[in-house]
Chain A
Amino acid sequence: MDIIVCVKHVPETAEAEIRIDASGRDIEKQGLVFDINEWDEYAIEEAVRIKEKFGGTITVITVGPEDADSTLRKCLARGADRAIRVTDPKISGSDAYAIAKILYNVIKGMRFDLILTGVQASDDESALVGPVLAEMLGIPHATMIKRIEFRDGKAIVNRELEGGFEEVLEVDLPALFTIQTGINEPRYVSIMAIRRAMQKEIKVLSLMDLGLSEEDVSETGSWIRVKEMFTPPAEKKVEFISGSPNEVASRIVEILRRRGLI
């Protein structure tokens, strides 16, 4: 089974204090820690498990700056065989649709049985690169996948619906699946394995190598363009409780008592 996995190198923002930058159109990236997109970590792990069962190769692809090599190396350390990075200053301003176009141009000449992406990237949360890529390649797809099996040359997958429900689909191969968190338990990668992966080559491509121009990507080739970024308005007016843990706890107990909750 030859598998392609698309991975994105993203800033970790859940716990970081984030600030809107001077352009007012993005966050200040300096000082943030970047790592593999959470969903893509499950995707690469799933690819490795399939390879361990059926043999074959894994190619990881990212569109991103040179720093994204650390994400590619993590994938190589996990068990990927080849890594490709597309880097070009002209890509700046590209939305998820333009990224899908770039990935399509990398993949279109390649041989593969399966493409895995994450459900969504934790930065732009578009959830569209996978299905758009499948459309461009003309292969079937299914999103939010929680389980993959193979039977008679076809994939049997579980897709997540709302409320804990799932549906089971049979999909012809080659196919593209977007992977949902919880599909597996990503393995721990040792420092040794990452060090060994340092020796592996990362193939770097530019837009020109792909026969693409700036107009195909960037803001011109995108579906949407961020105009401004701002702090979300609060739905409820929160009252902050401050003080020592002791004072805070007393206050909470007081609130609960007043409401007859304790």
Chain B
Amino acid sequence: MVEILVLAEHRGGQLRDITFEMLTKAINLSSKLGAEVISIVLGKDVKSFAPTLAEYSNRVLLVENPLFEHFNSDLYQEVLSRVIRELKPLLTLIGHTSYGIELAPRLAASLNIPLATDCIDITFENNSLIVTRQMYGGKVNVRAVVRRSESYMVTVRQGSFMVQKPSPPLGGRIEELSIPMERVVLRKRFIKYVPPPPGGVDITAADIIVSIGRGIKDKSNIPLVEDLAKSLGGVLACTRPIVDKGWLPSDRQVGISGKTVKPKLYLALGISGSFQHILGMRGSELVISVNKDPKAPIFGYSDYGVVEDLFKIIPVLKMKIDEVRARKE
């Protein structure tokens, strides 16, 4: 039997979206390959996940142990390397998340099976595994061939596959695996979680967001966009480099490691549109982008685009908005 193994990811007692995105892709691949979809979930208390996972899998493997209360890639590696060695799945899918980035490369290297990271598509063609992934900050896509192997591993980019609940549900068999962990010596130990610092402004509640990226060039230009945001009755947000430089506080960051926003208007100024940023603003109703690079990836996620120096647009735009506002009053 050909198998596709999917590592279910969960945090704070909830299965994360990436789990269902991967399972959807696995089901899709399995129908072409005649494969079985097997999900595996590790945790202190994971039985409650089983019914949901069973809807999307032919088999569900539960590995419960108090040691798995918090994610630790060393423990996951111990369990998964045993399971993969025994099962020899054709393909193992892991999320390209903060957990997957920590786990997958090392696991693949230890098993000596080839890994393709951060993939947005996966196909089998003539017995070869072909993946699609991005390079150069999302400016190009590549199709890459993975070295021939009996078993492959792929980490999947979040938000790449739209979740489709199989109907009827697959009704997978639920199995509990017991894997002895007594002998495992941990060289890396979880201490605690640190939540994001309480913020002053909640950008997720805003209808209008003016967002800036590295194109803003200098801290001294921030008042310019603050004024524009004010005129629009919106809030100012930004990409990660702006926070890294300390130009705006971290509660203003949009993206995978920041906030997810869904405003009525997202005005993107000098933002290239790397996927880590896109994941945080994709749900915006209207996206207008200004970027001097016509090939900036952000345009692929925008309703309207302006290829221009943002410093030429902002002052005029602010003036015109103020005019409209003044006329209304």
Contact = CB atoms under 8 A, between A and B. Distances in A.
Contact of A17 (B115, B144, B259, B293): B293
Interface string B53-67: 000000000000000
A55 interface: no
B195 interface: yes
A171 B106 contact: no
Interface in A148-192: 156, 158-172, 175, 181-182, 185
Interface string B84-125: 000000000000111001101110111000111110000000
Interface stretch (A74-82, A196-204, A221-229): A221-229
B117 A18 contact: no
Contact of A232 (B101, B232, B246, B300): B300
Interface in B109-156: 109-110, 114-118, 130-131, 133-147
Contacts of A228: 142-143
Given A164-B259, A169-B188, A227-B145, A123 B135 contact: yes
A167 B117 CA distance: 23
A210 interface: no
B324 A262 contact: yes
A225 B253 contact: no
Given A172-B187, A255-B288, A248 B313 contact: yes
Contact of A13 (B130, B139, B196, B320): B139
Given A164-B257, A232-B138, A259 B264 contact: yes
Interface string B177-212: 000000000011111111110000000000110000
Interface stretch (B22-30, B43-51, B218-226, B302-310): B302-310
A185 B144 contact: no
B258 interface: yes
Interface string A109-131: 00000000001001111111011
A245 B258 CA distance: 32
A156 B194 CA distance: 13
B190 A167 contact: yes
Interface stretch (A1-9, A62-70, A83-91, A233-241): A233-241
Given A20-B140, A252-B288, A253-B321, A223 B114 contact: yes
A189 B123 CA distance: 47
Contacts of A169: 188-191
Nearest to B291: A15
B10 to A, nearest CB: 13
A143 B101 contact: yes
A162 B118 contact: no
Interface in A17-66: 17-18, 20, 25, 27
A250 interface: yes
Contacts of B258: 163-164
B244 interface: yes
A181 B260 CA distance: 20
A58 B100 CA distance: 29
A234 B89 CA distance: 34
Contacts of B118: 125-127
A141 B192 CA distance: 17
A246 B317 CA distance: 8
